[in-house]
A and B are shown apart, each in its own frame.
Chain A
């Protein structure tokens, strides 16, 4: 099925541990985004990518790293997890920009991360 797949869906970490969230899309989209969602804070942009091999910082990038080695994959890494990173993480992708249906963001189902 075409779409955006996030793995894992759930994960519990201890403070200081590291992990990587994987986002994979099979729609040949250029743009990919990582957001985190916390109660009352809405969706906050962590990092994004406008194409293979490119990444850029969003609004809350501290404590996270990303890589886009392949066009279809966008990885979000936590080098040393902290309780403040407990959140639901959403990945999204789209073809590009401008005014067309192709620029609609397609979201993954989300990954719930708990850091103890």
Chain B
């Protein structure tokens, strides 16, 4: 089952903040975040392992709540370059190897 992302879409003015949420019904091994520009392949942002850690990358950070199987991506002081579709990927352990499943995506548009 795909993880559930919210919101589906968001429009920001440059400099505003946004939060994208991701939740799963499965016990997660890790959570991945990727960003995709139109017509391109997804590009890696960050990985979080269970343990409730929080990671940061420039003005983009993320958290992972292992108990709730939820992750959030925080974009602060948004820039035009942040526009794109954001995907969370949830990794679960299976007998056949780790399965990495992505959500339906959140379309983010940053305007002047």
Return the CB mask of B29-55 against A: 1 if under 8 Å, else 0: 110101000001111100101000000
Interface assignment of B94: CB less than 8 Å from any CB of chain A: yes
Q: Select the stretch in A16-24, A54-62, A69-77, A79-87 that faces chain B.
A: A54-62
**Cα-based distance from A33 to B91 in the complex (angstroms):** 13
- Residue from B44, B96, B102 within 8 A of A45 (CB atoms): B102
Q: In whole Å, how far is B107's beta carbon from the nearest beta carbon of chain A?
A: 10
CB contacts between A and B, total, < 8 Å: 69
Interface residues on A, range: 20 to 34
Q: Which residues on the B side are within 8 Å of A42 (C-beta)?
A: 2, 5, 87, 102-105
**Cα-based distance from A109 to B34 in the complex (angstroms):** 15
The answer to whether A109 touches B41, judged by C-beta atoms less than 8 angstroms apart, is yes
Interface assignment of B26: CB less than 8 Å from any CB of chain A: no
Q: Which residues on the A side are within 8 Å of B44 (C-beta)?
A: 104-105
Q: In whole Å, how far is B91's beta carbon from the nearest beta carbon of chain A?
A: 7
Return the CB mask of A29-48 against B: 1 if under 8 Å, else 0: 00101010000111111001
The answer to whether B41 touches A58, judged by C-beta atoms less than 8 angstroms apart, is no
Q: Which residues on the B side are within 8 Å of A35 (C-beta)?
A: 102
**Cα-based distance from A34 to B3 in the complex (angstroms):** 17
Q: In the complex, which residues 93-116 of chain A have their Cβ closer than 8 Å to any Cβ of chain B?
A: 97-99, 103-105, 107-110
Interface assignment of B98: CB less than 8 Å from any CB of chain A: yes
Q: In whole Å, how far is A3's beta carbon from the nearest beta carbon of chain B?
A: 10
The answer to whether B104 touches A45, judged by C-beta atoms less than 8 angstroms apart, is no
Closest to B32 in A: A105
The answer to whether B91 touches A97, judged by C-beta atoms less than 8 angstroms apart, is yes
- CB contact under 8 A between A105 and B96, given known A42-B102, A42-B103, A59-B1: no
The interface of chain A, by Cβ under 8 A from chain B, is: 31, 33, 35, 40-45, 48-51, 54, 56, 58-59, 90, 97-99, 103-105, 107-110
Q: Which 4 pairs, one residue from A and one from B, show the smallest C-beta to C-beta distance?
A: A50-B97, A42-B104, A107-B41, A43-B102
